[in-house]
Structure 1
Amino acid sequence: MIQLSVLILNYKVPYYLMHCLSSVIAATKDLEAEIIVVDNNSEDQSSAWVKKYFPQVILVENKVNSGFSKGNNLGFVHAKGKYVCLLNPDTYVGNHTFKNVYAFAETKQDVGAIGVKLIDGCGNFLPESKRNLPTPKVALEKIFQINKNYYSALSENKTGKVDVLVGAFMWMHRERYEKIGKLDEDYFMYGEDIDLSYKFLKAGYQNYYLGSESIIHYKGESTTRDKVYRQRFYGAMQIFYEKHFNKGKAVQFLVQQGLKLASLKDALIKKSNNEQVQKDYANYLLVTNKTSALKERLEEILYQKFNCISVNEILKKTLSDSYIVFDAEYITADDIKMVMEKQKNKQNCFRIKPRNFNFILGSDQSTSKGEVKDL
């Protein structure tokens, strides 16, 4: 019996997809699992790389970019697992994440969807990992930066019931997912996870957040904050409210105000991102358990002297202003996440070299694209 189907919808992030798949392969070794990648007509090297480096993956090549819901539902047709996990391609999964979520799911009879703790490329918690139902009132408060009712009050490291989970990682019982109608294809992108979470609740199931499990989500890779993003996001919220709340003119006002304020906010974010400049760090560290040619190669391409350090050593230190590269040939995903969370918010920069690949990648802001360097 296949216990788990991991379903990844990809669009134009080939490097991050390879990084993600490397972690998923490691994280599913103790389960009977299948991995399905739907490429939404990326027109880049994504599909070719999946075929070359991960021939065991079931690859579905979409002829058009049909959006999040339709793309995932297309992949779901091929899923045979007892559980299905929707996973973004710009994520990095811990070694025991799937095994532990599976064990938790098996203890609950009322599971709708299960989510985990998401951290960004700097090690910071992403609060959208667990949210309350965004009623029109709550959504209006969110527009004006009043977040107390938008995000769940459950502690980020605790486990418990929540209303809404995030589509970057959403674990579900396959038959229940199918029973409630799967992802609503009226949504192109954004809002589908809210709609799906709410449908589980309306069907009498419970959604659970597991703060004991975490994954990295390089959020800026799958979310480009521009006019199209704003229109799709608030358009999706309009669909959601009309389907579930039917507020008419109130919804129209909410969407219009949201678009105006989000446009101003994103202009400030874009200005801030454009002001970011390449800097020199006080320390350049390669986290590895084995001296390798990677150190020399990093020094060649970055023109900096690197020092090798082990996981145990770096966990004992409090570092700041450091450029830290993790060699995933020898360092586990769990150790990488542990170090990132320990050394976050100290002007440190984190990059990972995926296993069996010659590039490093990472992201310093969740509102902009990350960095990829070929080695």
Structure 2
Amino acid sequence: MTGRAEYPLISVCIANFNGMDIIDDCLRSVQNQIDTQPFEIIVHDDASTDGSAEYIRIHYPDVVLLQSLENAGFCVSNNRMVAQARGKYILLLNNDATLFPDALLTLHAYAETQSSGCILSLPQYDAATGNLIDIGSLSDPFLNPIPNMDAKRGDVAMVSGACLWITKVLWEKLGGFPEWFHTLAEDAYLCFRARVEGYSVQALGSSGFRHWVGKSLGGGKVTAQNRLATSHKRRALTERNKSFVMALTYPAPLFQLVFPLHLVLLLAEGLILALIKREWRVFREIYLACFMALWLERGRILRLRREIQSRKKIGPRLFMSVLKLPPHKLRMLLRHGVPQLE
């Protein structure tokens, strides 16, 4: 199929920003799906400056192309695409990801067996090495994802927004991505909110997708020297948005126990990292910025927290069933040392 069915059952939504060197592989992987239901491809171009939007328009005329005049961020891009989508099912797909040929077939077949809404994904493989990255993720209590490698587990804490399947009805019930997040941890928000409201989050054990991790924002991966590398921007957005997700979704009394400890550990981490690197910028741009954002957004956070918690369908025990100890940052520190900040 080329990407524009008359009556699509599935809408594949791809957020693009300066993806000229990767968009061909992404789009072709969707077009080359086998034995799948009718689907459409929607691309939101987030004010690219590399000509990729015009390239898509010329070379993929069956793709529905939405163009933004200014860079709106990943959350806004996906919200706009889903609003335009005609399919019952939505697949959010990164422009730096490619699907296995049976990905849509696998996701659709499983989704049809579910009587209530759910969020699904597939095994994620490193596009550079071919190694398995995860089959969804568990989490430590501080919302640091722990890769799940058990293909039979099923229920997980979260799945990657690089390949996230959901019905349009459930997306609308959950309110989509919070646009004030801009980018990063929006997938954690959607998954944790879904779980709080009684919907399952599952990673299937078959098929899969390949992902150039960190292609868009830089970092977020282990280097050839066995060091964890990330960028200031990525780390700042991650710490801020993870804190937002905890404040919004953690039920009482877990929230009252974990969130203050999270803030104390975050403060200590920032000070220690700044001292080790002898760079005040690390504390100011990542950790202090996180505390300031929590304060400035306190009104919005409180209002949305009340809304989410009023719809709560699970208790703390079930919520905690996908949370694991020890803290994943400690594991990564012992394994890879102090992270490189670029």
TM-score (norm 1): 0.63
The yes-or-no answer on 1:209 pairing with 2:203 is yes
| Stretch deviating more after TM superposition (68-77 or 222-231) | 222-231
**1:157-192 alpha-carbon deviations (Å, 9 max, x no partner):** 336121211111000011111111111222111111
Pairwise CA distance, 1:50: 0.5
- Contact 1:231–1:259 (Cα < 8 Å) also in 2: no
* 2:36 corresponds to 1:42: no
* Match of residue 93 from structure 1: 99
Q: Establish whether residue 242 from structure 1 lines up as the match of residue 236 from structure 2.
A: no
Contact 2:13 2:82 in 1 (8 A): yes
Closer, same or farther: CA 30–132 of 1 in aligned 2, 3 Å: closer
| 1:116-135 per-position Cα deviation (integer Å, ceiling 9, x unaligned) | 001102011113x4222442
1:35-76: CA deviations, max 9, x gaps?
Answer: 000011111111011011111000011112111111110111
Q: State the Cα distance separating 1:260 from its structure 2 match.
A: 6.1
Deviation at 1:32, TM superposition (A): 0.8
Amino acid at match of 2:263: Q
Give yes or no for contact 1:8–1:36 (8 Å, CA) kept in 2: yes
Q: Which residue of 2 aligns with 1:167?
A: 161
Structure 2 unaligned blocks of 5 or more: 1-6, 219-229, 279-339
The CA distance in 2 between the partners of 1:166 and 1:263, in whole Å, is 30
- Conserved? CA contact 1:111–1:207, under 8 Å: no
User: 1-side partners of 2:170 and 2:83: how far apart?
Assistant: 14
**Matched residue type, 2:132:** F
Paired position in structure 2 for 1:360: none
Residue 24 of structure 2 is aligned to residue 18 of structure 1: yes
Question: 2:125–2:133: 8 Å Cα contact kept in structure 1?
Answer: yes
Aligned residues between the structures:
256
Structure 2 CA distance for aligned equivalents of residues 89 and 9 of structure 1: 6
TM-aligned CA distance change 1:108 to 1:254, over 3 Å: same
**Matched AA of 2:244:** I
The structure 1 residue matched to 2:264, chosen from 253, 277, 284, is: 253
Counterpart amino acid of residue 256 in structure 1: L
Query: Which residue is 1:126 aligned to?
Result: 133
Which aligned pairs between 1:138-177 and structure 2 lie closer than 5 A? 139=144, 150-152=146-148, 155=150, 157-158=151-152, 160-177=154-171
Trace 1:59-70 onto structure 2 (pairs within 5 A).
59-70=65-76
- Give % identity: 25
27-36 or 166-175, larger mean C-alpha shift? 27-36
Q: Distance in 2 between matches of 1:15 and 1:21?
A: 12
Corresponding residue of 1:290:
none
Q: What per-residue deviation string (whole Å, max 9, x for no partner) do you get for residues 200-253 of structure 1? A: 111211111112111110113123121111111111112112222455643333
Matched, 1:105 2:111: yes
1:94 offset after TM fit, Å?
Answer: 1.2
Larger radius of gyration: 1
What is the aligned partner in structure 2 of residue 230 from structure 1?
Answer: 235
More helix by share: 2
The aligned amino acid for 1:166 is: S
Match of 1:8, SS state, is strand
Normalization by structure 2: what TM-score? 0.69
- What's the secondary structure of 1:5's corresponding residue? strand
Q: C-alpha distance in 1, partners of 2:275/2:44?
A: 34
Residue 281 (structure 1) aligns with:
none
Q: Write the letter of the residue equivalent to 1:122.
A: T
RMSD of the alignment, in Å? Answer: 2.7
Determine which structure has the larger strand proportion and give its number: 1
- Shift of residue 254, structure 1, vs aligned partner: 3.5
Q: Give, in whole Å, the separation in 2 of the partners of 1:98 and 1:3.
A: 11
Partner of 2:310: none
Give the match's secondary structure for 1:23: helix
Secondary structure in 2 matching 1:172: strand
